[in-house]
Amino acid sequence: MRRSSISKIASLAGTILILLMSMPAIAGTFNLNLATTNINSGNYPWAVGVSEVVNKHVEGASCRLIALGGAGLTVPALKTHQANFSTNITSWDMADIVAGTGKWAKLGGVPMRMFCLREFGYQMWFVAKSAGVKNVMDLKGKKINIGAVGAATEGQAKLIDDALNIGADWTYGSTGTASEQISDRQVIGYIKSCPSFPEGSQYMARFDSSALNISTSVPLTVVGLTKEQRDTVVAKYPKFKKFLGKIPAGAIEQAPDAPELWMTTMAISAMVSMADVPQDIQYRVIKAMAEHWKDIVAVAYPPCGVWDPIKDTIENTPDGVQLAAGVVQYALEKGYDVPAELIPSEYKKK
């Protein structure tokens, strides 16, 4: 396709998006403005699935997608009331966004509530087998690709490094860059979020496609924390209490020799609702999502198919964050135990 044709198509798509964003709400209908990633992102189908559920199965609500990009764009859209829901905010950042602390201090706090977690993943620390690294303390002075500047991967790794005094030589770059660096022996490893799968009462880890591809030329293994190291990290940074998960020895199929490991975790994407969205709307939306999780949401975005949108969301909502009032209503109606600290002040018992 010629460059001029591509430009025209892109321009038309941009015009359509602007028109959609400026469309007035249908009389008597709640306009659910869902801020999400750009349309080229692998996460975009998740928002499409949510939108389909709302538009097909939630009476009195109409959902329109606002394709923006990462949380650096979607969170300000929530703050300025351009959006009232969002689908791509990591649970790792949520407490800081709500409180207006850390790297989100300039926003002054955003009154949003946890609505639903999309999936559970691990931040796996991959290293070349040839490097001879057996423990995270063996990374001292060694070059490791930590991911993009400002990403949750960087934030977690830097805090762990500080708590344990690892002293790794961190480098930055995309997954593609990390792959090239490992192949060229410029770094010995990289950190990357990977999918998980349920087994009994916990979630196990597996290599993602990037690690599988790299392993064809440079065999990889993983390193993580011991129980003692995990406790040291949590003692200094209590936030990690819900962000370090245990993987039993030999449980990673692609790294069968790995011992028991504690790995950093993140719910890769959280759907949030602004606190002022009516409880009844929140209730109807989460009810429809839960009822159509398998046949619509997981069809649009398969990785979330193993996730329980209510149980797992309650269990993995980070400290300092509360559930949306409508989610509390639905969870209690279905018999789930909702801790008092997760119930927001605007919740009204039905």
Residues 132 and 249 in one domain: yes
Q: At which of 266, 281, 307 does a domain end?
A: 266
Residue 203: pLDDT band (50, 70, 90) is confident
In a domain, 172, yes or no: yes
Q: Which of 40-44, 148-152, 213-217 has the lowest mean pLDDT?
A: 148-152
**DSSP helix/strand/coil, 102:** helix
Q: At which of 266, 291, 319 does a domain end?
A: 266
Q: What is the pLDDT averaged over residues 145-158?
A: 85
Name the residue range of residue 23's domain.
3-118+269-342
User: What phi, psi does 69 have (nearest 5°)?
Assistant: 155, -140
In a domain, 349, yes or no: no
Residues 173 and 238 in one domain: yes
In a domain, 220, yes or no: yes
Residues 243 and 306 in one domain: no
Residues 222 and 323 in one domain: no
Q: How far, in Å, CA of 186 to CA of 51, rounded?
A: 43
Task: Count how many domains the chain has.
Answer: 2
Q: At which of 200, 232, 266 does a domain end?
A: 266
In a domain, 171, yes or no: yes
What are the pLDDT digits (tens) for 102-140? 889 999 999 999 999 988 788 899 999 999 999 999 999
Give yes or no for residue 324 having a pLDDT over 70: yes
User: What phi, psi does 76 have (nearest 5°)?
Assistant: -60, -30
Determine the pLDDT at residue 201: 65
Residues 65 and 45 in one domain: yes
In a domain, 35, yes or no: yes
Q: Of residues 65 and 120, which shows the higher confidence score?
A: 65
Residues 139 and 261 in one domain: yes
Determine the pLDDT at residue 349: 94
In a domain, 350, yes or no: no
What are the pLDDT digits (tens) for 244-284? 989 999 889 899 989 999 999 876 789 999 999 999 999 99
Q: Of residues 273 and 154, which shows the higher confidence score?
A: 273
Half-sphere exposure (CA, 13 Å, Cβ side) for 231?
3
Residues 218 and 317 in one domain: no
Output DSSP code: residue 90: -
Our measurement of the distance from residue 136's CA atom to the centroid of its chain's CA atoms, rounded to an integer in Å, reads 24
Residues 144 and 261 in one domain: yes
3-state secondary structure labels for all residues of 127-190: EEHHHCCCCHHHHCCCEEECCCCCCHHHHHHHHHHHHHCCCCEEECCCHHHHHHHHHCCCCCEE
Residues 297 and 259 in one domain: no
Residues 161 and 258 in one domain: yes
Give yes or no for residue 70 having a pLDDT over 90: no
Q: How far, in Å, CA of 34 to CA of 89, rounded?
A: 12
In a domain, 31, yes or no: yes
Residues 167 and 275 in one domain: no
Query: What CA–CA distances, in Å, run from 8 to 19, 46, 68, 249?
Result: 16, 27, 20, 54
Rounded to the nearest 5 degrees, what angle is found at the Cα of 112, between the Cα atoms of 107 and 113? 150
Residues 144 and 250 in one domain: yes
Determine the pLDDT at residue 148: 80
Q: What is the pTM of this model?
A: 0.80
Q: What is the pLDDT averaged over residues 152-171?
A: 93
Q: Domain of 13: which CATH number?
A: 3.40.190.10
Give yes or no for a contact between 190 and 144, defined as CB atoms under 8 angstroms apart.
yes
In a domain, 348, yes or no: no
Partners of 61 in the beta sheet?
30
Determine the pLDDT at residue 108: 95
Output DSSP code: residue 107: G
